[in-house]
Amino acid sequence: MDLQRIHGLLSGEQRGIGAALLRSGLWMAQGPYWAATTWRNRQFDRQRREIHQVAAPVISVGNITTGGTGKTPMVDYLARYFRQREVRVAIVSRGYGAEEGARNDEAQELERRLPDVPHLQNPDRFAAAATAIEELESQLILLDDGFQHRRLARDLDLVLIDALNPFGYGHLLPRGLLRESLRGLRRASALVLSRANAVSPGQRESIRNRAVAAAGKSQPWIEAAHAPQAWVGVDMAEPLMALQGKRVAAFCGIGNPAGFRHTLEECGVEIAEWQVFPDHHSYTRDDVLQLERWAATVQAEAIVCTEKDFVKLQVESLGERPLRALRIGLQIQQGAEELELLLAPLAARALASADRT
């Protein structure tokens, strides 16, 4: 079942007896998943599982749902914030979706954006963080997709909520997209509504009210927009106006294709054709050939994709159509002062620690 059909099933848009029966089965399956995640969190809450400290501040960027919520632009934003203040930063992640011995798409994208920021991938993120501090002399660790990884202590937990699908259809996996109960939001240091510009003020307020109710307390609330920056190729970049008003064929293999499509429409392009691959899709030679055949049949002036897809393809064109990736940046629309109050002390601590060594 492809990603669009899965979302149609989970959202209830897919009708019929078969879909209803399948949703019922998934609803029953979420019970054991809830029990497992609740038991695991209680083990950490009651200190029955060890939480490891490292000798540098740690900031976790995570979410409570599976799929794309905009973690990569947030990690990019934070890395640039600390690098501008001369803090040596390292990114640590599990490396989900990567083939053995390879870098996953998030790592490749961040390395392309941040060539001076090391990115360590290891399922043992405590070991990776320790390596970054001891061997690379990193002063601060950014833990990418770390909210559910509780073995590594963190000083700040930023939890992203996607405005386009904030609560994973209201159910835990596999019936919905929630990775744990919404009560887990109580552990968050701050809540960040990503793609906030994609919904109305009333919808943003409704999402905030539900998140605060689930968390049981009022954390700092930050609203961020995914802002298109440029069209990029292998060794080039073009302004957004280069494709404005033009017909394009688009594809992606990410967790939230609807978010990418919304951003493309904001750029003023006309989407002539649309293809969706599974999240973290590893493009094979056959995939490239299929895309080239597809590109030859569409009435479009360019083929466009996400930067996560582009780093795995690294080609200038598909057939006779140029291939361009849309580079996305993060813009804080609300809560910039609250975010600064959270980040500035960690930057100062990181630099003070370096002065003592």
Nearest to 289 by CA among 328, 263, 315: 315
Do 65 and 190 belong to one domain? yes
Q: Say what the pTM is.
A: 0.89
Residues 71 and 168 occupy one common structural domain:
yes
Residues in the chain where the model's pLDDT stays below 70? 1-2, 96-103, 354-357
CA neighbor of 118 nearest in space, from 107, 106, 134: 107
In a domain, 102, yes or no: yes
Would 90 be classed as within a structural domain? yes
**Is residue 161 helix, strand or coil?**
strand
Residues 7-36 have pLDDT tens digits of 888 888 888 999 999 999 999 999 999 999
Amino acid at 331: Q
CA triple 175-176-181, angle to 5 deg: 105
How many independent structural domains does the chain possess? 3
3-class state of residue 301 by DSSP:
coil
Assigned domain for 51 exists: no
67 and 208 together in one domain? yes
User: Does residue 53 sit within a domain?
Assistant: no
Token look-up 């990410």 returns 254
What does the alpha-carbon distance between residue 333 and residue 339 come to, in Å, rounded to a whole number? 11
- Do 198 and 344 have their domain in common? yes
Any domain includes 135: yes
Q: Are residues 195 and 267 in the same domain?
A: no
Residues 285 and 350 in one domain: no
Q: Are residues 209 and 274 in the same domain?
A: no
Q: 254 lies in a domain?
A: yes
Domain shared by 187 and 324, yes or no: no
The answer to whether 261 and 237 are in contact (CB under 8 A) is no
135 lies in the same domain as 23: no
For position 64, which CATH number holds? 3.40.50.300
Residues 233 and 315 in one domain: yes
Based on the fold, state whether residues 68 and 207 are members of the same structural domain. Answer: yes
| pLDDT tens sequence across 320-338 | 999 999 999 999 999 999 9
Q: Which amino acid is at 151?
A: R
Residues 6+ apart with CB under 8 A from 63: 69, 71, 145, 147, 159, 160, 161, 162, 179
- Is there a single domain that holds both residue 317 and residue 209? no
Distance CA 11, CA 176 (A): 8
Instruction: Give the span between the Cα atoms of 43 and 93, in whole angstroms.
Output: 23
Give the domain range for residue 172: 58-220+335-356
Q: Is residue 71 part of a domain?
A: yes
The pLDDT of residue 99 is 56
Q: Which residues contact 284 (CB under 8 A, 6 or more apart)?
A: none
- Residue 319 DSSP symbol: T
- Residue 199 buriedness (CB in 10 A; 0-12 / 13-18 / 19+): middle
258: nearest Cα among 65, 63, 68, 12: 68
> Per the domain annotation, does 50 fall within a domain?
no
